Amino acid sequence: MLLYEIRYSHRVKKELKNTPASQRKRIVSKIQGLAKSPRPIGCEKIRGSKSSYRIRVGTYRIIYSIYDQKLIVFVIKVGHRRDVYKKL
């Protein structure tokens, strides 16, 4: 079984610091799961993008890109659903 490498943008690290601890644990767990399955059940492709997807974690969203040739999942943005799609 191939595992994907998880990489984070600098913005994600800041966003996770500002997230409540209970939500942060769920989000990090979901991100780590992307290493085994980068397209889990419930993920949706973002319109207008070639390789960007989103997954839900309660009221939070994780926006990420998948690079299958290099086996990389790059987490672009994490945030509340009302704010996460701004400035994508």
Distance CA 73, CA 84 (A): 18
| Distance separating alpha carbons of residues 66 and 21, to the nearest angstrom | 27
pTM: 0.91
Six-digit token string for 16: 């996770």
pLDDT in tens, 9-25: 999 989 999 999 999 99
Separation of alpha carbons 44 and 82, rounded Å: 17
All structural domains of the chain, each given as residue ranges with its CATH number in brackets, are: 5-80 (3.30.2310.20)
| Mean pLDDT for all residues in the chain | 92
